[in-house]
Structure 1
Amino acid sequence: MASTRARIAVDAMGGDYAPQEIVAGAIRAAAELDVEILLVGEPERLESSLKQHTTTSNINIEIVPAKGVVGMHEEPVVGIRRKPNASINVAMNLVKEKRADAVVSAGHSGAAMAAASLRLGRLKGIDRPAIGAVFPTMLAGKSVIILDVGANVDSRPKYLEQFALMGTIYSKYVLGVEEPKVGLLNIGEEPSKGNDLALRTYQLLETNGQIPFIGNAEGRDVLSGRFDVIVCDGFVGNILLKFAEAVGEIMLQIVREELPQGLRGQIGTAILKPNLRRIKQRIDHAEHGGALLFGVAGVCIISHGSSQAPSIFNAIRLAKEANDHQVLDRIQGYKERSTKDGDRVSETSLGGNSEQ
């Protein structure tokens, strides 16, 4: 699909290293990607951060004024309602008003989800949004998208069915998997395994002709490369996400510690540098940039609170890819075609009246 110039609204005040690292990542994205950046935040602080860089004269960056930020200690819905001019609210409004194509935020993830739901609304037929995170696998060049990783602590079977459909579309059109394989995270491969949620979800996935479901995925299967999409509730998914991030950091630390010291170590490191760079790209969560909030009527990327410039750059790249591949239109179109064809997905998979 031909690339178009996307306008990305970046919540420049959100995150542990805002605004300096957010601005640095945005500058790199504006210079290297075909995007326009709308930096949302307090103008004086953003202008000060921009002045620290010497490569901002010919890049597409615009400051959009905002006042305040929803702090990590604040209850999300209360925070965004009390602070209508906070950076995350202003950024979401830019998408709602069609002045931006996507939002990137490393701030309060709960506030980002609340602002997206309240300001953008959900896609027609989607009952609950889901956060989808891309994980590396044991197979080089192959990833798996897992959703939900934190938007819904409690889920119903039909929510997971919707997550599976949205993940399938993303895997096919953005990750380039011609025939995605979908799995349900469970404690065993057998259809009879699992709790009530898993058993009832299995039945929905197995009988939904729109979802290429191949069975249950055990914990050891998550990074095996056997599956392209794995669905689970947000409670389990968030634990899985943070565990995987920790494992990646530990592996990088072990590699650094085990390299020889002194001159021999310097020579060895120089020789292995390309390999070490590839290892980092495969296992470091910063290389993936963030997670897409599926199911809302706008492209929204939620980045880690500790994101620095490289991660923000990758989050903006992820937002551009989702926009370029028209993920939202494809999800909505899937529902409309299914309704026209009379497939059961129009009634159950994408939010019909029946309660599962």
Structure 2
Amino acid sequence: MSDQFPSDRALIAVDAMGGDDGLAVMLAGVARARRRFEGTRFLLVGDERAIGDGLANHPNLAQHAQIVHAPEVVGSSEKPTQAIRRARTTSMGIAIDLVKQGRAAAAVSSGNTGAMMAMAKLSLRMLPGIDRPALAALLPTLGATDMVMLDLGANTECDARNLMQFAVMGAAYARTTLDLACPRVALLNIGSEDQKGTGEIRDAAARLRAATHLPMQFEGFIEGDRLSRGEVDVIVCDGFSGNIALKTAEGTARFVADLLRRAFSSSMRSRIGFLISRPATELLRDHLDPNNHNGAVFLGLNGIVVKSHGGANEVGVATAIGNAVKMVRNDLCRRIGDDLGHMEQAA
């Protein structure tokens, strides 16, 4: 991949038909990403006529984009088995296949997560040394940077080997996206003591403590109430626990935002207080806005595939594309392969 796509001229395939808010938001997001990452080019996959009409509103993007026609779209509730059978005719399937063919360095879609995972795994296959892919995302913290969390739903049950591989992939992703030389890694557990948790978690912890040759710093266990403290850079867990933790964090953020909105509108004094504190509340809203942290990646595949949230606005779409560009420019797949090779040699 890195030989075909120089680091300053990444070519990204975008499923332009995915997302809850339609083509207009997707194109606006791509245009925003293009302004931020100069040199990036795009393959816009979907209905040729609709995309062509939409590009009329983004002349600067049109100069750096090529349309790849796809006659069909994967439905939001479509089963993965059904989507796989239509992979060659849907915008999502074609975007992923462009990565397989070597015509694109990464694929980005806001469509059906299950279908996307199934298509990507079947088409791109796994990196050597990886048993299962993991869904990883960036979450806001009180620290200087976001944190990486994986797995967020791709694997409901994991053994120690899976968790070890997730840690290696998550650390490589943190180095690539967050510019961290030696990310701090922790395992999500029900307690911080060594004897807490399942046998798989304790076994994974033992292996990570012994992996001193890898570019990561293992911090042991972390409990759910400290996820957002910024004490670690990568949190590793099985997909069942990770998905619950993620949805709980998102719900809590919405709860706090709604509570503040209700409190500030309860009386005239509260409204005056809101005007005084508006700079602080705007900062809080910006920090918690999921569009500023959008873009989950399927780590472990032999190619880069990024899942944007279906309800993302143009800022969120641009953020997801930006994550893909960073991974391409920093050759994430090669980094993961190198780290896995070092781990196998040490073992």
TM-score, normalisation: structure 1: 0.87
| Aligned with residue 41 of structure 1, among 46, 52, 56 | 46
**CA deviation after TM superposition for structure 1 residue 48, in Å:** 3.1
* Pairing of 1:290-329 with structure 2 (within 5 A): 290-329=295-334
Answer yes or no: is 1:60 the counterpart of 2:64. yes
CA RMSD of aligned residues (A): 2.4
Residue 130 in structure 1 maps to residue 134 in structure 2: yes
Aligned equivalents of 1:167, 1:45: Cα separation in 2: 38
Q: Please list, as runs of the form range in 1=range in 2, the aligned pairs for 1:240-319 lying within 5 A after superposition.
A: 240-259=245-264, 274-319=279-324
Of 87, 92, 96 in structure 1, the residue corresponding to residue 91 of structure 2 is 87
Q: CA separation in 2, counterparts of 1:88 and 1:58? A: 21
Q: Matches of 2:278 and 2:157 in 1, distance apart? A: 44
Asked if structure 2 preserves the Cα contact closer than 8 Å seen for 1:12 and 1:22, the reply is yes
Q: Give runs of aligned pairs for residues 11-50 of structure 1, distance below 5 A.
A: 11-34=15-38, 35-50=40-55
Q: CA deviation at 1:58?
A: 5.9
Inter-CA distance 99–57: structure 2 relative to 1 (3 Å threshold): closer
Cα–Cα, structure 1 residues 4 and 273, in superposed 2: closer, same or farther, change >3 Å?
farther
Alignment match, 1:170: 173
1:82–1:188 distance in 2 versus 1, CA, 3 Å: same
Alignment of 1:159-198 (within 5 A): 159-198=162-201
Q: Which moved more, 1:280-289 or 1:183-192?
A: 280-289
Structure 1's unaligned 5+ residue stretches are 345-356
Q: Distance in 2 between matches of 1:203 and 1:267?
A: 55
Q: Which string of whole-angstrom CA distances, capped at 9 and with x for unpartnered residues, describes residues 168-190 of structure 1?
A: 12222321223321111000011
Deviation at residue 266 of structure 1 after TM alignment: 8.5
Counterpart in 2 of 1:215? 220
Of 94, 109, 113, 1:105 maps to 109
Count of paired positions: 339
Please report how far the alpha carbon of residue 333 of structure 1 lies from its aligned counterpart in structure 2 after TM superposition.
Answer: 1.9
Given that 1:70 and 1:86 are in contact with CA atoms closer than 8 Å, whether structure 2 keeps it comes out as yes
Listed one character per residue, the Cα deviations across residues 308-346 of structure 1 (whole Å, up to 9, x for unaligned) are 21110111111111111111111112233455xx311xx
Select which of 13, 27, 46 maps to 1:9.
Answer: 13
TM-score (norm 2): 0.89
> How far is 1:273 from its partner?
5.4
The residue that corresponds to 1:114 in the other structure is 118
Please give the secondary structure, in 1, of the residue aligned with 2:206: helix
Q: 1:61 to 1:185 in 2, by over 3 A?
A: same
Deviates more, 1:79-88 or 1:294-303: 79-88
SS of the counterpart of 2:229? coil
Which secondary structure state, in structure 1, belongs to the residue aligned with residue 73 of structure 2? coil
